[in-house]
Amino acid sequence: MVDGATSGLEMDQSHFPPIEDYAFLFDCETTALIAPDGAVEWQCLPRMDSRSVFGAILDRDAGRFRIGPAGVDVPSARRYIPGTMVVETSWWTPGGWLVVADALLIGPWHHEDERSMTHRRAPTDYDAAHVLLRLLRCVNGQVQVDMDCTRGFDYGRLPPRWSYTGDGYHEAIAEPVPDVAGPPASEGGRPRLRLTTDLNVGFEGPTATARTLLKEGQRRFVALSWSKHAPPKTLDEAVCRLRWTCHHWQHWLDRGMFPDHPWRGHLQRSALTLKGLSFAPSGAIVAARSERVAQHCFPGCLA
């Protein structure tokens, strides 16, 4: 190579993955985009048109939530569990294999004794649980696992303040720093975010961190929640609620008519994706998953 020249590979390198490499999660009230390295890089809460709490897809300092093996950023395989919106990522490391399942949980209808403040149409038998669940399982050998959760409220403009709840190291909450925060969530502001896990959590500035060594057969869970609905408190409950979510999406697909054809899986995936672009409380269809990104980057473009 001539001195000073730049190879085509170096010119094409970017810190941002191609948009098609992101996994898409939804619960019909909010969505999340997960990069190949296991980081949630886009999520707006509590609704799809809210301001972001994870915005690294726009700016690497705007918040992300990564869980994966220490020192390994490229997974061996990724897939949606068939018929569901649950993403499963498999990782090889020099010490063993790790599988991470990610989902926005769905559960039974919550408001049995009160009316929902968001739904404008007749509710169904199920509802968004307002929980992002991340379930880890070591399937072979042993794997060092890292968790880093750096929230950047309002596209990264408002840093979070972490604090423990309870007596141990398994629950924490994040709120915008008081002197720069807007109104509380109850007044249309930003939600308080709760982290619940069986890992031991610590804080490093604006980041909640955890590290553990998983051995063959061991599992751990991390749940991020943002409403009064309770997240899973134990591993068994997390596994049960993930299974409920899988069955929900599979049963939803059962009501469709899909031909016995090699492309059937693609048709079902398209149906699930379109479902993910609907807002259950009103029945409205989101123009595009990147709508809030565009609105932030190019104000007025959606008017």
- Provide the 10 A C-beta neighbour count for residue 140: 15
- Predicted TM-score (pTM) of the model is 0.85
pLDDT for 241-266, tens place per residue? Answer: 999 999 999 999 999 999 999 999 99
In this predicted structure, what is the pLDDT of residue 189?
53
The mean pLDDT of the chain is 84
Over residues 96-130, the pLDDT tens digits come to 999 999 999 998 876 666 666 666 666 677 889 99
In contact, 194 and 225? CB cutoff 8 Å: yes
In a domain, 41, yes or no: yes
What total number of domains does the chain contain? 1
CATH, residue 166: 2.70.98
- For residue 206, being part of any structural domain is answered with yes
Domain containing residue 102: 16-297
3 occurs within a structural domain:
no
Answer yes or no: is 56 within a domain. Answer: yes
**Mean pLDDT, residues 203-227:** 96
Q: Are 272 and 36 in contact (CB under 8 A)?
A: no
Asked whether residue 10 is domain-assigned, the answer is: no
The predicted pLDDT at position 231 comes to: 95
| Residue 6 is assigned to a structural domain of this protein | no
Which of the pair, 280 or 109, is modelled with greater confidence? 280
Q: Is 271 a member of any domain?
A: yes
Among 100-104, 106-110, 212-216, 271-275, name the one with the lowest average pLDDT: 106-110
Inside any domain, residue 5: no
Contacts of the segment 232-240: beta carbons below 8 A, 24+ positions apart: 232/131, 232/133, 232/196, 233/196, 234/198, 235/198, 238/133, 238/135, 239/135
Q: Which of 229, 263, 191 is nearest to 45 (CA)?
A: 191
- pLDDT greater than 70 at residue 13: no
Measured CA to CA, the distance from residue 222 to residue 251 in angstroms comes to 26
Residues in a beta bridge with 92 = 97
Q: With 90 as the cut, is the pLDDT of residue 141 above it?
A: yes
Name which of 89, 56, 91 is nearest 71 in CA terms: 91
